[in-house]
Structure 1
Amino acid sequence: MARCSNNLVGILNFLVFLLSIPILAGGIWLSQKGSTECERFLDKPVIALGVFLMVVAIAGLVGSCCRVTWLLWVYLFVMFLLILLVFCITVFAFVVTNKGAGETVSERGYKEYRLGDYSNWLQKRVNDGNNWNKIRSCLVESKVCTKLEAKLVDVSLTNFYNEHLTALQSGCCKPSDKCGFEYRSATEWIKNATVTNTNPDCQSWDNAKDKLCFDCQSCKAGLLDNIKSAWKKVAVVNIVFLVFLIIVYSVGCCAFRNNKRDDSYGRTSGYKP
């Protein structure tokens, strides 16, 4: 039974090693085949994650199965740091996503979004000019508004109002209802010169396909709503991952004690494991 923990750590780390291979391959594929700058932006983090998992898995595998005590100690130390990191990231994700929600509009199938409703930390990230220019480029390249226009071609105003738009579609592809613009199509609206509105988004709107409302506060808010939803899902996954890490760490501690006991027995009896 004492050796069961060593074998279990070895099996778990072998599975992690197998998992690291497709992650690493995916990162390399993105760096070589990514069609847009947004896709290629992910290649380095994915490659780093794949390499990290592979190195840690090898250390745990060799340390437990080959009874290399110092290597297993390094493995446990890294695992402890990883547990702390995942815990902090999970708490942070819940804290920064606890604010913000779309505003329900009367007789509309969609919601509208205000940047001020979201956490200050997230607002600062999207209000940074360099950050937003990169995000804006990705949104244009993703053709989120072009796809909406193709889907709702020749749709009447009444039917458009009944559409269930995503946060990005509502925030980036159309002006706010409060602007009072005249409807032409899903992504074409005529400014009404007689309507005075202090909402800066109304001035930012442009019918050009690469402009629309991509510079609007509502577009940034729509993006943050997407991020909020995604981060909450990631946080739930992190909780499951954290439980898994704690179990592996606990089993690894048992394997480490086994190694130390074997080392101590070998020194006193001359036994070579």
Structure 2
Amino acid sequence: MAENKNPAETLAVIVQENQKTNPKEEDQATGGEKAVLFQMKHLMLLLTILSFVLSLPVLFSIIWLSYMRQCDCEDLLRLPRLQVAIVVGLVVVFLVSNLVVYLRARFPVPGLLLVMVPLILMLTMGLGLVGAYKMESRTITGSPIWLKVKVDSENYWSNIKSCIYATRTCEDLESRSYTLKTHDFTRSKLSSIESGCCRPPSSCDMEYVNATFWRKEDKVVDDSTLNNANCDLWKNEETILCYNCDACKEGFLKTLQGKWWKLGTFLVVMALLLISSHLLLFVATMWERYGG
């Protein structure tokens, strides 16, 4: 009988020890879960703040585009309509992005799908404006190839050069540089339109009188280059100047492409950042709901 009591006593001791150690283990497990939950809440807060902060440049761009002065004569290509459409699209992106952030805990999956639609459209439009689609971008309004096709069209260019003359760009250049000598004028910084439309190509080697009046040298000009081929198109008449020169087209085109390329780059960068932040926020939300 004494031998039978020993196993029972041993079992009782083990049970008592387990009862003493289990609460400690439970406390440690509970503490670990609380730490993970605390870290997850901090991560969610950071991602929420990040998504909101990334939407602020979109808001600022809406204000900037709404009050930004149009490039001279770009309304002939109906580009202001594109600018208005982009403003409306950015308003949608800003509102949807912040709405999804606010409702992400209730509707994580529908919210992600909802915000991805305008962001993907924003990314696609931005890639089109920077010319990422190459030949396909010919049909995308505002893309580099689309702008070049329009400017090279004689029908459009006839109206554009009349518009450039009406803006008095060259007259303003003449009044600003009236007292400048040759070396001062050559060092002055001109806009692309002023350089291409208001003065002859530099390869023509004409003598400077003033900004819009140049005297031709009595020497043979090599017509093998594009600029030299335009030397005969220059006239010292304020209604003609170099408006028919290819340099004038290139200057106007450079001005437009610079503006829309910058806008396209902004759209691409912001779309990628917002897509990344919303994907991270979605993953963190699902982990908090099902993984924790």
Tell me if both proteins adopt one fold, taking TM over 0.5 as the criterion: yes
Alpha-carbon distance in structure 1 between the residues aligned to 2:186 and 2:219: 23
Could you tell me which residue of structure 1 aligns to residue 276 of structure 2?
247
Could you tell me which residue of structure 2 aligns to residue 156 of structure 1?
181
Aligned residue runs from structure 1 range 127-142, under 5 A:
127-133=152-158, 135-136=160-161, 139-140=164-165
Is the contact made by 2:126 and 2:264 (CA closer than 8 Å) also made in structure 1? no
Is the contact made by 2:51 and 2:274 (CA closer than 8 Å) also made in structure 1? no
Pairing partner for 2:103 from 36, 53, 63: 63
Could you tell me which residue of structure 1 aligns to residue 200 of structure 2?
175
Larger fraction in helix: 2
Could you tell me which residue of structure 1 aligns to residue 170 of structure 2?
145
* Structure 1 pair 35–168 and aligned structure 2 pair: CA distance change class (3 A): closer
Pairing partner for 1:222 from 241, 245, 251: 251
Question: Residues 80-135 of structure 1: CA distance to partner in whole angstroms, max 9, x if unpaired?
Answer: 62575277448735979xxxxxxxxxxxxxxxxxxxxxx97764342023543565
- Structure 1 stretch displaced more, 188-197 or 157-166: 188-197
Is the contact made by 1:26 and 1:46 (CA closer than 8 Å) also made in structure 2? no
State the Cα distance separating 1:26 from its structure 2 match: 5.0
- Identity among equivalent pairs (%): 24
Q: CA RMSD in A?
A: 4.6
Pairing partner for 2:235 from 183, 206, 211: 206
Alpha-carbon distance in structure 1 between the residues aligned to 2:284 and 2:158: 50
Provide the secondary structure at the position in 1 that maps to 2:103: helix
Provide the secondary structure at the position in 1 that maps to 2:230: helix
Pairing partner for 1:73 from 108, 112, 120: 112
* Structure 1 pair 168–34 and aligned structure 2 pair: CA distance change class (3 A): closer
Could you tell me which residue of structure 2 aligns to residue 47 of structure 1?
87
Amino acid at match of 1:207: N
Is the contact made by 1:157 and 1:183 (CA closer than 8 Å) also made in structure 2? yes
The TM-score normalised by the length of structure 2 is 0.57
* Structure 1 pair 258–22 and aligned structure 2 pair: CA distance change class (3 A): same
Question: Residues 43-94 of structure 1: CA distance to partner in whole angstroms, max 9, x if unpaired?
Answer: 51453244222332244234315x2235413235326625752774487359
Aligned residue runs from structure 1 range 21-36, under 5 A:
21-25=59-63, 29=67
Is the contact made by 1:180 and 1:195 (CA closer than 8 Å) also made in structure 2? no
Tell which structure's C-alpha radius of gyration is larger: 2
Could you tell me which residue of structure 2 aligns to residue 189 of structure 1?
214
- Structure 1 stretch displaced more, 128-137 or 215-224: 128-137
Is the contact made by 1:83 and 1:245 (CA closer than 8 Å) also made in structure 2? no
* Structure 1 pair 64–129 and aligned structure 2 pair: CA distance change class (3 A): farther
Provide the secondary structure at the position in 2 that maps to 1:64: coil
How many residue pairs match? The answer is 238
Is the contact made by 2:197 and 2:245 (CA closer than 8 Å) also made in structure 1? yes
Question: Residues 113-169 of structure 1: CA distance to partner in whole angstroms, max 9, x if unpaired?
Answer: xxxxxx977643420235435654664465443332223213333443444544433
Gaps of 5+ in 2: 1-38, 136-143
Provide the secondary structure at the position in 1 that maps to 2:209: strand
Provide the secondary structure at the position in 2 that maps to 1:41: helix
- Structure 2 residue 49 is matched with structure 1 residue 11: yes
Question: Residues 198-234 of structure 1: CA distance to partner in whole angstroms, max 9, x if unpaired?
Answer: 5452343233435422231011223444566667766
